[in-house]
Amino acid sequence: MNAPQPPNRRLQRVAELVRRELSQIIRRDLAVDEVGLLTVNDVLVAPDLRTATAFVGFVGTKSQRAAAPERLEARSARIQQLLGSGLRLKWTPVVRFVLDDSVERGNRVLSILDEIESKDAPPSPSRPPLPSA
């Protein structure tokens, strides 16, 4: 079985360009009160540069979280058009959006670790009051 090849330098550069451009497009064209705060965490570009997967981070309410994928899908043609005009590539990658919950999972792990530390921490000894001079 062949091990997956690490992305070459060109793929990394194209992925970073697509990530930056998508971030700007989403920031400009999608209202925060409508879909919450969306950030493009990472982009994976296919070796043929025809498709890309954008991992989108989310901060907001549950109703905004439910609406975010629908809004991205509804505006995907416009986002694709703006992406094509912002990039200087022979083909503009067709982007598929995936909600990325890695930040939420990381925060949850940190809160669990804080709870464990607070339970295991020895009680702080009470200090006697300092004598006044």
Q: Tell me: the pLDDT tens digits for 37-51? A: 888 889 999 998 899
- More reliable by pLDDT, 131 or 51: 51
- Are 45 and 11 in contact by the 8 Å Cβ rule? The answer is yes
Residue-averaged pLDDT of the chain: 82
Q: pTM, whole model, 2 decimals?
A: 0.70
Q: What is the pLDDT of residues 62-105, one digit of tens each?
A: 888 888 888 888 888 999 999 989 888 888 899 999 888 777 78
- Are 14 and 49 in contact by the 8 Å Cβ rule? The answer is yes
Q: Could you tell me the CA-to-CA distances from 99 to 22, 43, 103, 116, 124 in Å, in that order?
A: 14, 12, 11, 29, 43
The Cα angle at residue 42 between residues 32 and 76, in degrees rounded to 5:
55
3-state secondary structure of 45: strand
How much is the pLDDT for 132? 60
Please, what are the domains in the chain? 9-119 (3.30.300.20)
